[in-house]
Structure 1
Amino acid sequence: MLTMRLKAARKSAKLTQEGLAKRVSTTKATISNYENGHSTPSNDMLLALSDALDVSTDYLLGRTDNPDSLNNKKDSKGNPSWGDEAEFEAWVNDPSVHKFYKEFKDSPEERKKALMAVWEILKTQGK
């Protein structure tokens, strides 16, 4: 499974074996061996390959048919979820988010409901 998925993800990313090898600091021969099933990447290399190809390790291993990387994962309702703890921390520590949260938290319930309704409308506009 890994062999087919790795090759497909590489081609989808419009990378040659040599180009992928450079991204993960290995050789073209090593990538060829992975794609032909002659060897299997270590866990660290599997992570590097998934990052370089922007797909999840679960996709490469055949555990899911969804190639979304961790940064593009969806929750059970299909909504985007945080794929990176550092990204979440940066968002949480943004002063404008703190201000918004405080104002939202202290608002009357009818305003909270109105804002959530507006947000639902805005989410559908880009689709």
Structure 2
Amino acid sequence: MLSTRLKMLRTQHRKTQQDMADVLGISRQGYAKYENNLGEPDNSTLSKLADYFNVSTDYLLGRSDIPTLTQEEKEEAEFQAFANNPKLNVFYKELPESQEEAVERLREIWEIIKHDYKK
């Protein structure tokens, strides 16, 4: 599915394989392997491709037929990545409130952190 979607998106954007290779900082042959299903991009490259085409990684991988996420879905995905960080789970699990209250507190902390990084 990844190879099909990459080729479709590339042609829709009127880009060559060399254009895409340049975006990713790899050789044209390296990019061609993705489209010919002879290799798979690492997570970082997959994220770059999703960002470049403004689609979700789930769409690229065939886990969703909806190309883009809503802003709410993007924010939820960011929060889930934050909340599921193994280095942070110890703090989350030690919160004395019920799990629902702990999640809400963690979400508030996440919003503060995001706001600080945007400055």
Q: What band does the TM-score fall into relative to the shorter chain?
A: 0.5 to 0.7
Paired residues of 1:20 and 1:52 also in contact (CA < 8 A): no
Counterpart of 2:115? 89
Query: How far apart in 1 are the matches of 2:7 and 2:15?
Result: 10
- Contact in 2 for aligned 1:24/1:52 (Cα 8 Å): no
C-alpha RMSD of the superposition: 2.5
Q: Please list the CA deviations of residues 75-121 of structure 1 after superposition, one character each: whole Å capped at 9, or x if unmatched.
A: xxxxx4373679x738x98xxxxxxxxxxxxxxxxxxxxxxxxxxxx
Q: Which residue of 2 aligns with 1:32?
A: 32
Q: Which amino acid aligns with 2:53?
A: L
Give the number of aligned pairs: 82
| Pair member with larger Rg | 1
1:42 matched to 2:42? The reply is: yes
Give the letter aligned to residue 14 of structure 2: K
Q: Which amino acid aligns with 1:46?
A: L
Cα distance in 1 for partners of 2:62, 2:27 equals 24
Q: Which amino acid aligns with 2:17?
A: Q
What is the TM-score normalised by the length of structure 1?
Answer: 0.56
Q: Is the 8 A contact 1:24 1:45 kept in 2?
A: yes
Aligned-partner Cα distance in 2 for 1:22–1:29: 11
Partner Cα separation in structure 1 for residue 115 and residue 17 of structure 2: 35
Query: Structure 2: which 5+ residue stretches go unaligned?
Result: 79-110
Moved over 3 A (4+): 82-86
Partner of 2:23: 23
- Report what 1:62 is aligned to: 62
Q: TM-score, normalised by structure 2?
A: 0.59
Q: Distance in 1 between matches of 2:57 and 2:73?
A: 17
Taking only the aligned residue pairs, the percentage that are identical comes to 35
